[in-house]
Amino acid sequence: MKIQKHVYDVVIVGAGGAGLNAAQVASQHVKTAVISKVYPSRSHTISAQGGVSASLGNEEPDNWHWHMFDTVKGGDYLGDQDAAEYLTRNAPEMIRQLEHIGMPFNRTPEGKIAQRPFGGHTANYGEKPVRRACYVADRTGHAMLQTLFEKSVSQGIQFYNEFYALEIINTNGTVNGVVAFDMKDGSIHIFHAKAVILATGGSGRVFRTNANAHTNTGNGIAMALRAGFTWSDPEFFQFHPTGIYGHGNLITEAVRGEGGYLLNGEGERFMERYAPTIKDLAPRDIVSRCMQKEILEGRGAGPKKDHIKLRIDHIGAQAIMDKLPGIHELAMVFAGVDCTKEPIPVVPTAHYQNGGIAIDYRGHVITGSNGNYDNVVPGFYAAGECADTVHGANRLGTNSLLDLVIYGRTTGDLAAKYAKEHQLVDLPADAGKQGLALLERFTKANGKYTFRDIYEKMINTMQDNVGVFRTGENIKKAVKDLADCKEMLKDYKVVDQSTVYNLDLIEALELNDMVLVASIMAHCALLREESRGSHYRDDFTERDDVNGQKHTQAFLEADGSIRVDHRPVRTKPLTVDTFPPKPRVY
């Protein structure tokens, strides 16, 4: 098979907010390419709704210390605190930079960037909600992605769109390339580079009810694992409280930021009972659990008492159409509800992968085990949802878009600097062997099972057993079901044999990664015998700071088995010597 070779200084896999910000920064200094399995503007970032956080203090007093405190506390003390400081401290300046390159933020009457409240963001260390989320109506991700894409295109970055990355090339501990195939004609390409940035997004498609794009299939995590690197904190998957009942599509938290609230089947505003201070704006893990509890205890809404109502009509039709037009449309299309007149039926929906490829506070990929964890991998960076450091056990709303632009910028800068200071490392003679073997395995797959057989089994077991509430017994069932899925994949059938846009083959590759990712999530959820952030065990309901305040580190062994180690949480901020963790009461 003929392989086409390309040489770049920096290659970025992923064209969401993280990938594009990295690209536009790196390309200012060195020759940069971006590989994406979808056209950039179809990346999941496009659907981000509610906002991007920064303590600008435009609407009321705010500062980065409070933002950092909320980030650490919201993450239930599992996030690295050097990273929390880095993120929150740089946020105001980052937002101004985005504004300068053209992001059309909503404005206050005086012309400043407008800000709204969001879950878990508070003033004065948890005292009361604060307006910290900068926004573009309820289409903030759309505006961000288009702004960054325009900027990237204007800088002559080479885009390889609809190229599917199969392998990260690890040459004796240095990452110096990516193997991909062109989905349009099946041709194979090796991208030889001085530095590689992974920005491949999340993996929410492993759950039945989720708010994620079809592209969120955990490929980057799977590639990193196959190349010998570490997945940190796989067991923490965030459920967003308000997905449209029966569909999962997201209704942004900005609805509650703008004054919306949740009602149970008895018409009670139940969050007042659970979180008297910040009520419906408590962090997502808490609100999701409270909703699920109301439903399980028979206080759900509707004939089956199986959902919750989200009320927003009281703020007025004009305010809804000005600030939440996208939500009005989504509720109309998917729930058949006009939210200017009646409440929207909602349930918790799988939303965000809190963990990811282990990185240091600036986005260098780190690896290691047995007490030696922080070894930086030369030439390798990760940014955005596929990376793990700052969000701990539960990400606060609007902190992800901030993470994309901050870590995109930093990794773009660092990778360009690295590329300037280093020579290309030669590729091994058999470079790409692993990726090509994977492709060949599925191209020739002529067994019994097709996509639906395995996919349905995986999403159902993940939803029912590794969801908002988990028990050892349930998770064990998921572990067993996923082991069955792995076996079924050995007897898989790809029907379409074409080389032109073969979606049957692409689905097979994505499914293979999803089953791997789901298996590791379940495996690690079983090992964590405590409740923390988005991981809630009905059989271990307390947080255990003595044994539990540590990152899970998952590795994939050569024989396909999972090995788990732990890494201490970095609790020392960069400049703040003492950072008082307070009890998590809302």
Ligand X SMILES: Cc1cc2nc3c(=O)[nH]c(=O)nc-3n(C[C@H](O)[C@H](O)[C@H](O)COP(=O)(O)OP(=O)(O)OC[C@H]3O[C@@H](n4cnc5c(N)ncnc54)[C@H](O)[C@@H]3O)c2cc1C
Name the segment binding ligand X (CB under 6 A); options: 38-46, 56-64, 414-422, 459-467: 38-46
Cβ neighbours of residue 107 under 8 Å, at least 6 residues apart?
113, 114
Minimum Å gap between C-beta 252 and ligand X is 6
HEC states along 563-575?
A: EEEEEECCCCCCC
Name the segment binding ligand X (CB under 6 A); options: 293-301, 384-392, 442-450, 484-492: 384-392
Interaction of residue 200 with ligand X, rule CB under 6 A:
yes
Minimum Å gap between C-beta 165 and ligand X is 3
Q: Which of 26, 51, 114, 438 binds ligand X (CB under 6 A)?
A: 51
Minimum Å gap between C-beta 449 and ligand X is 22
Pattern 17-36, binding to ligand X, x per CB under 6 A? xxx---------------xx
Name the segment binding ligand X (CB under 6 A); options: 8-16, 78-86, 367-375, 553-561: 8-16
Q: Which of 11, 13, 514, 556 binds ligand X (CB under 6 A)?
A: 13
Residue type, 74: G
Helix (H, G, I), strand (E, B) or coil at 426: coil
Fill in the DSSP letter of residue 236.
-
Minimum Å gap between C-beta 267 and ligand X is 28
Interaction of residue 201 with ligand X, rule CB under 6 A:
yes
Interaction of residue 49 with ligand X, rule CB under 6 A:
yes
Interaction of residue 474 with ligand X, rule CB under 6 A:
no
Minimum Å gap between C-beta 505 and ligand X is 13
Asked if residue 123 lies in contact with residue 61, where contact means CB atoms within 8 angstroms, the answer is yes
HEC states along 277-313?
A: CCHHHCCHHHHHHHHHHHHHCCCCECCCCCEEEEECH
Cβ neighbours of residue 561 under 8 Å, at least 6 residues apart?
none
Interaction of residue 119 with ligand X, rule CB under 6 A:
no
Q: List binders of ligand X among 252-281 (CB under 6 A).
A: 252
Nearer to ligand X, 4 or 547 (CB): 4
Kindly state the number of chain residues that form the binding site for ligand X, as judged by CB under 6 A: 45
Q: List binders of ligand X among 395-424 (CB under 6 A).
A: 398-401, 404
d(C-alpha 94, C-alpha 98), whole Å: 6
Instruction: Point out the residues that are catalytic.
Output: 284
Query: What residues form DSSP beta bridges with 158?
Result: 33
d(C-alpha 112, C-alpha 54), whole Å: 13
Interaction of residue 212 with ligand X, rule CB under 6 A:
yes
Name the segment binding ligand X (CB under 6 A); options: 71-79, 193-201, 316-324, 496-504: 193-201
Nearest to 301 by CA among 257, 326, 337, 328: 337
Q: How far is CA 321 from CA 143, 216, 250, 261, 403, in A?
A: 18, 30, 17, 18, 29
Strands (E), 502-541: none
**Matching residue, tokens 């919750």:** 308
d(C-alpha 354, C-alpha 390), whole Å: 9
Minimum Å gap between C-beta 250 and ligand X is 4
Helix 503-527 crosses helix 451-465 at what angle (to 10 degrees)?
A: 30
Nearer to ligand X, 213 or 337 (CB): 213
Name the segment binding ligand X (CB under 6 A); options: 3-11, 85-93, 194-202, 264-272: 194-202
Binding site for ligand X (CB under 6 A): 13-19, 35-38, 43-45, 47-52, 140-141, 164-165, 199-202, 211-212, 215-216, 219-220, 250, 252, 352, 384-386, 398-401, 404
